[in-house]
Structure 1
Amino acid sequence: MADYPILQLIGGGEIGGAEQHVLTLLQGLNPAYFSLTSGSLIDGPFADLTEELGIPTLRLPMKHALDLSPLPRLLAELRRQKFALIHTHGSRANLLGRLAGRWAKIPVISTYHSSLGQDYLSPKAALVALGLDRLTLPLASGLITVSEALSREVASRGGKNLRTIYNGIQPLVQMKDESYRQNQRRLLRKKWGIPDQAIVLGSIARLHPTKGLETLIEAASRLLPEFADLHVLIIGEGPLRSVLENSLKKAGISYTLPGFIPKGFQALPAMDLFILPSLSEGMGLVLLEAMQAHLPIIASHVGGIPEVIREGIDGLLVPPGDSIALAEACQTLLTHPLLVQKLIQSELDRYQTFSIDQMIQKTENFYEEILCSNQFKKPYKRF
């Protein structure tokens, strides 16, 4: 029987990089020492998914980002299930989880997956979120960031006891098979009506301003006179869908916006270039998937991206929001096949340095450190 019940608390209104990260922890942490429960603060797809997978799930819906009404029930569950630690992910979870942890006198660890000030459509909402984060940071026993860039940002707000633990990814075994990739390419292009000869600029991202997808569209419009068969494929859903679609139509660019796909990486073989034009990015987990799909990569030189993609070695990096530089980088890769092969070969080695096993081990070690601290009396039984 596991010694330490752990609550993984997250908003869960979508299934993005943070949710995938939490799912990896829920399924990967050593069950001999940790019993894992998922807590969702939005009645949405993540809670549905964890329940389908048979993972113990608490639904603690908040009416809005500042709603504290679920706090009494959360405190009751902490007592009833004797949780040893709360691990929070995202603004809602940080607010509710840190308050509950202090009240229940149990440790709280918070993971930062992205730049908090860039996560909101409204500048006012971003300021409120940053203010609340600063106020509640002292209630956290430890902080995890998914890149060194994020670590510096959180430290500037007063964050203490910080650890950088890079996201890991399971090998996409099928992507090693060239015949699989070619077959997927044919099937997906046929499904979406994309011509075989089309040059597909692709991305997988939330349709949110912070992902910089307007820059991708502007770059595509610059390339169109030279590459008449250009096609833009963006996998994802979000508040900018209609805006992006209107921009694509106005520019006369052939496009496909299939929405959210649960296993979005399966769409990668339909692309010729993978582009992540983010204006802000914690790490960019999707880059590790694109590497395994044998795709040349262009990404913004922002946040934790340069810690994953080494400029000119694993891909090309461009300034965020610079459509001219992005178009030039696309042109370079579309006209230099030997460079493309060199980048892809480097990518296939690079992604292996970001392993799930390493992520899990470092997270377990941090749990051990927090649970063994003088602040918490229960001795930690380790392996």
Structure 2
Amino acid sequence: MATYKVLQLIGGGEIGGAEQHVLTLLQGLNSTSLSLTSGCLVAGPFAKLTEELGIPTLLFPMKHALDLSPLPRLIEAIRREKFSLLHTHGSRANLLGRLAGWRLKTPVISTVHSSLRQDYLSPQAARLALTLDRITLPLTSGIITVSEALAQEVATRGGQRIRTIYNGIPSLPQLDSLEKRGNLRQCFRQKWQIPEGTLVIGSVARLHPTKGLSTLLEAARILRSQFPSIHILIIGDGPLHSELQNQAKALDLPLTLAGYLPDAYRALPAMDLFVLPSVSEGMGLVLLEAMQARLPIVATTVGGIPEVIRHNQDGLLVPPEQPKALAESCAEFLKKPDFAASCIASGAKRWQDFSVQEMLRQTQDLYGEVLMI
């Protein structure tokens, strides 16, 4: 059987949900018929990780988001390595990958992980990204979106041949027993000097405006009158680090900004309640990890989140940027342990609907259609 070579192209300046998704493809789709290579546009942590894992990795460093200077090197690498398909992830990869694919008549599939409208700190940058996406969308042979909400958004930009394939998550054996979760709880609370008995409300997210973390801090301020031992724990890094620190200080609110943490799901048991207060969210893969960690979940009604969390069944959903509503839903779980337990039990089953095996199968099926295997 012929082996088709696929280049997974991504920025790789951080290790977030999109990078974790690409890593799953790189490790899960290699077979007798498919051979996958990682391509990064930033000499950052993702390239380092894939190299350490022994995954073939190519670098095409961009100086800035509109830098087209790596394009000739990318085209040369596609020719040299005889890639049959390019699979792009993110604005930078979409721009370079689609142009290279068009130049060489190599098919390109793009996965849309998040809303372009909300991904940028600058409105001007967002408008430019949307314009470039509209121009290059016709150069794709297929588009994957990680939620139906994103599929609708991409369709409004002229996207065609769109298929929703939900992100999948493996079983996390580190979280599969009360004893293991208890040990991790103690370990990470000690690591961050959070006293046992403290009520920890946490999140795992980039420190970026689109994640709505300032709303979480405002909600915590409201909650503190009822729950004085409250402590906020946020795992992740990003441009709002100092701003969030200053906001917590102004609110006199205990806050731990843990920074980037590999395998962050291992620290979830340190939390008593998980909150994803996003203003925009492609799907919210971390919600499936929080379900495995047996945490009650409060999240916002944006993007693909309502496709994952069923309100009043797997967790509670609130409108974005409304700290009072967020605080009230958190308080509902904290005051009603039986209700929290019911949602936790439902979530422990719900995450299994989003399996890695199904994601890989559907992705490979689309590859086969595009390559006519």
TM-score (norm 2): 0.99
CA distance in 2, matches of 1:114, 1:2: 34
Aligned to 1:103: 103
Judge conservation of contact 1:11–1:92 (CA < 8 Å) in 2. yes
Residue pairs, 1:139-218, within 5 angstroms: 139-218=139-218
Aligned to 1:72: 72
Deviations 1:7-35 (A, max 9, x none): 00000000000000000000000411111
2:21 counterpart of 1:21 = yes
CA distance in 2, matches of 1:80, 1:277: 45
CA distance in 2, matches of 1:164, 1:245: 37
2:361 counterpart of 1:361 = yes
CA distance in 1, matches of 2:238, 2:15: 11
CA distance in 1, matches of 2:2, 2:206: 36
> Displaced runs of 4+ in structure 1, greater than 4 A?
none
Name the count of aligned residue pairs: 373
CA distance in 2, matches of 1:193, 1:324: 29
CA shift, 1:141, in A, is 0.7
Judge conservation of contact 1:41–1:59 (CA < 8 Å) in 2. yes
CA shift, 1:202, in A, is 0.3
Deviations 1:138-196 (A, max 9, x none): 00010000000000000000000000000000101121110111111112112211111
Moved more, 309-318 or 247-256: 247-256
Aligned to 1:247: 247
CA distance in 2, matches of 1:27, 1:238: 27
Runs of 5+ in structure 1 lacking a partner?
373-379
Aligned to 1:340: 340
SS, match of residue 54 in structure 2: coil
SS, match of residue 200 in structure 2: strand
CA distance in 2, matches of 1:208, 1:362: 31
CA distance in 1, matches of 2:275, 2:110: 29
- Partner AA of 1:112 in structure 2: V
Aligned to 2:116: 116
CA shift, 1:226, in A, is 1.3
CA distance in 2, matches of 1:181, 1:64: 42
2:289 counterpart of 1:284 = no
CA distance in 2, matches of 1:34, 1:244: 44
CA distance in 2, matches of 1:352, 1:91: 30
CA distance in 2, matches of 1:219, 1:108: 43
User: What percent of counterpart residues are identical?
Assistant: 64
Aligned to 1:33: 33
Aligned to 1:376: none
CA distance in 1, matches of 2:226, 2:166: 39
Aligned to 1:63: 63
CA distance in 2, matches of 1:191, 1:132: 44
Residue pairs, 1:252-267, within 5 angstroms: 252-267=252-267
- Partner AA of 1:130 in structure 2: L
CA distance in 1, matches of 2:2, 2:339: 50
Judge conservation of contact 2:174–2:266 (CA < 8 Å) in 1. no
Judge conservation of contact 1:2–1:35 (CA < 8 Å) in 2. no
CA distance in 1, matches of 2:111, 2:183: 38
Deviations 1:252-273 (A, max 9, x none): 1111111000111011000000
CA distance in 2, matches of 1:146, 1:257: 28
SS, match of residue 339 in structure 1: helix
CA distance in 1, matches of 2:348, 2:81: 43
Deviations 1:221-277 (A, max 9, x none): 001111110000000000000000111111111111110001110110000000000
SS, match of residue 86 in structure 2: strand
CA shift, 1:2, in A, is 5.6
CA distance in 2, matches of 1:91, 1:166: 20
2:331 counterpart of 1:326 = no
The alignment yields a C-alpha RMSD, in angstroms, of 0.8
SS, match of residue 313 in structure 2: coil
SS, match of residue 194 in structure 2: coil
TM-score (norm 1): 0.97
CA distance in 1, matches of 2:12, 2:188: 29
Judge conservation of contact 2:333–2:340 (CA < 8 Å) in 1. yes
CA distance in 2, matches of 1:82, 1:62: 22
SS, match of residue 77 in structure 2: helix
CA distance in 1, matches of 2:302, 2:12: 25
2:273 counterpart of 1:270 = no
Deviations 1:50-81 (A, max 9, x none): 11111110100011101110011111111111
CA distance in 2, matches of 1:30, 1:235: 31
Judge conservation of contact 2:30–2:36 (CA < 8 Å) in 1. no
CA distance in 2, matches of 1:137, 1:187: 47
- Partner AA of 1:143 in structure 2: I
SS, match of residue 203 in structure 1: strand
SS, match of residue 35 in structure 1: strand
- Partner AA of 2:354 in structure 1: F
- Partner AA of 1:351 in structure 2: W
Runs of 5+ in structure 2 lacking a partner?
none
Judge conservation of contact 1:170–1:355 (CA < 8 Å) in 2. yes
Judge conservation of contact 1:298–1:316 (CA < 8 Å) in 2. yes
